Amino acid sequence: AELLAAFDATIARHDRIEPRDWMPEKYRSTLVRQIAQHAHSEIIGMQPEGNWITRAPSLRRKAILLAKVQDEAGHGLYLYSACETLGVSRQELTLKLVEGRQKYSSIFNYPTLSYADVGTIGWLVDGAAICNQVPLCRTSYGPYGRAMIRVCKEESFHQRQGFELLSTMMRGTDEQRAMVQESVDRFWWPALMMFGPPDDDSPNTEQSMAWGIKRDTNDELRQKFVDMSVPQAEALGVTLPDDGLVWNAERGHHDFSQPDWDEFYAVVKGSGPCNAQRIAHRRRAHEDGAWVRDAATAFARRQQETVQRGSAS
């Protein structure tokens, strides 16, 4: 009870909980689930963009894309480390991922079908991710908050690169402009879904907000994202595929249509266009790499034994 009081006080002060601090089991498990999902999203998120590395149409774009996908691997790495401070190993989490027992962001269950998708993912998907994640930089758990600061900084950079790719393509040929529009048409609705279901259908939000794990509701964030994206779309010269999208002077916000929530739930449950493919890819890479990881473990053990024998003699 004393421990709980100290914990609650830290939260109330908007101060950070650190790994050595006591925390309620439910807080810990909620965090593990959220951070793991986030880490998995970075790792699975390497696939849709990675799909275009070998076909990038200029060397500059190839370097940008390769570096971006590499950053995602880096984000995965710190987020798994943040999870390790809560006593769960990367190996354990990876198994949960490849066995389909833990989720990742549903957006990555959509395929990338043209090079414009690389730009759209940067602009809309990273843009939405940033809206979701900036508040997490102030999240109550220290290691997670600090990881998020670094992640957000890099993602803003990725978002600008994505926008810049699209804007360059829009100054190119008619075919390129059509490619950008087609890509935005495909990704707009899934991007809106990234904020999760409407608040009425989001049962965990309240507890997460109370704990300072989450700081805004899904609908608040979605609105912010739409308001941010409209002028950017205008600047690009693309049309967002929503007839209901209009400025509402009274609210001081854009009104917009709801995405197809049936599709959202279907994708979350495993019926997205790429769920099976993404998991199969991750599982194959994990299994194909097993002999290498085993070799590294065996080698490290042998080295240690040699050292120990050396010091014993």
Partner 1 sequence: PAALATYCLMLGDDALVYSHRLSQWTSNAPDLEDDIALANIALDLLGQARLLLARAAAADPSVVPVLPEGSPVPPEDALAFFRDDAGFRNVRLVEPEDADFGVTVARLLVFATYRLALLERLRSSDDTVLAAIAAKGVKEVAYHRDYAARWFLTLAQGTEESRRRLLAGLALVWPLRAELFDTHPVEAAAAGQGFGVDPAMVVDEVDVLLEQVLSVSGVERPDVRPTGPLGRGAGRDGRHTEALGRMLAEMQVVARAHPLGRW
Footprint on residues 280-309 left by partner 1 (CB under 8 A) = 280-281, 284-285, 288-299, 302
| Burial class of residue 107 (count of CB atoms within 10 Å of its CB; 0-12, 13-18, 19+) | buried
Task: Report if residue 268 touches partner 1, rule: CB under 8 A.
Answer: no
Residue placing its CB nearer to partner 1 in the complex, 16 or 177: 177
Match 């509402």 to its residue by tokens.
248
Among 19, 24, 57, 87, binds partner 1 (CB under 8 A): 57
CB of 34 to partner 1, least distance (A): 20
Among 32, 56, 95, 228, binds partner 1 (CB under 8 A): 56
Contact 106, 187 (CB under 8 A): no
C-alpha span between 126 and 115 (Å, rounded): 16
Residues facing 246 on adjacent strands: 255
- Binding to partner 1 (CB under 8 A): which residues in 237-266? 263, 266
CB of 230 to partner 1, least distance (A): 21
CB of 2 to partner 1, least distance (A): 40
CB of 249 to partner 1, least distance (A): 31
Residue in 166, 148, 190, 235 with CA at minimum distance from that of residue 48 = 190
| Burial class of residue 103 (count of CB atoms within 10 Å of its CB; 0-12, 13-18, 19+) | middle
Among 28, 33, 51, 230, binds partner 1 (CB under 8 A): 51
Secondary structure (DSSP) of 206-220:
HHHHHTTS--S-HHH
Residues in contact with partner 1, total (CB under 8 A)?
A: 73
- Binding to partner 1 (CB under 8 A): which residues in 213-242? none
Residue in 39, 4, 37, 9 with CA at minimum distance from that of residue 22 = 4
Task: Report if residue 60 touches partner 1, rule: CB under 8 A.
Answer: yes
CB of 140 to partner 1, least distance (A): 26
Task: Report if residue 272 touches partner 1, rule: CB under 8 A.
Answer: yes
Among 73, 209, 235, 307, binds partner 1 (CB under 8 A): 73
Maximum C-alpha span of the chain: 82
Query: Residue 36 in 3-state DSSP?
Result: helix
Task: Report if residue 149 touches partner 1, rule: CB under 8 A.
Answer: no
201 vs 61, 151, 239, CA distance in Å?
40, 28, 29
Quick one: which segment of 40-48, 194-202, 218-226, 229-237 binds partner 1 (CB under 8 A)?
A: 40-48
Which tokens belong to 226? 């739409």
The residue length of the chain stands at 313
Binding mask 6-35 for partner 1 (x = CB under 8 A): ------------------------------
C-alpha span between 53 and 57 (Å, rounded): 9
- Binding to partner 1 (CB under 8 A): which residues in 163-192? 165, 168-169, 171-173, 175-176, 182, 186, 189
